[in-house]
Amino acid sequence: MQPPRPRIARARKLRREMSLPEVLLWQGLKGGRLKGWKFRRQHPAGPYVLDFYCPEAQLAVEVDGYAHDTEDRPERDRIRDMRLAERGVQTLRIPAFEVLASVDDALATILATIEDTSPSGPPGHLPLRGEDP
């Protein structure tokens, strides 16, 4: 058996070591709990690992702790967001303290962002053969 590729191994490690704000947000995102929108956590995307990713809406949600305000991190985040945008992925950054203050408000912000950019709603099931749409 081949060892997992480095990015996939890193994503798996990050899933096991999620921060408290990430865990709280994941509880509201997993399994289509956000009005049917499905998210992946710690999703590998090119050279990056996204905190949360909704493929149908092409939205990355990043939970930013204090480290994102220090040294060269804001510039690195700006470049990362720009490169994701070039691939059609919008990035929503939510400060960790906002998630801790109100998970519901953070989820409402995510939903509003999705609804602004994906007005058709989450994908439904495909009709079974013989079923009227």
Closest by alpha carbon to 51, among 87, 6, 95, 117?
95
Domain coordinates in residue numbering, the chain: 19-117
73-124: per-residue pLDDT in tens? 889 999 999 999 999 999 999 999 999 999 999 999 999 999 998 767 666 6
Q: What torsion, rounded to 10 degrees, do the Cα atoms 44, 49, 51, 56 define?
A: -40
3-14: per-residue pLDDT in tens? 457 667 666 666
Q: Is the pTM of this model over 0.85?
A: no
> CATH classification of 19-117, choosing from 3.30.70.20, 3.40.50.720, 3.40.960.10, 3.40.50.170?
3.40.960.10
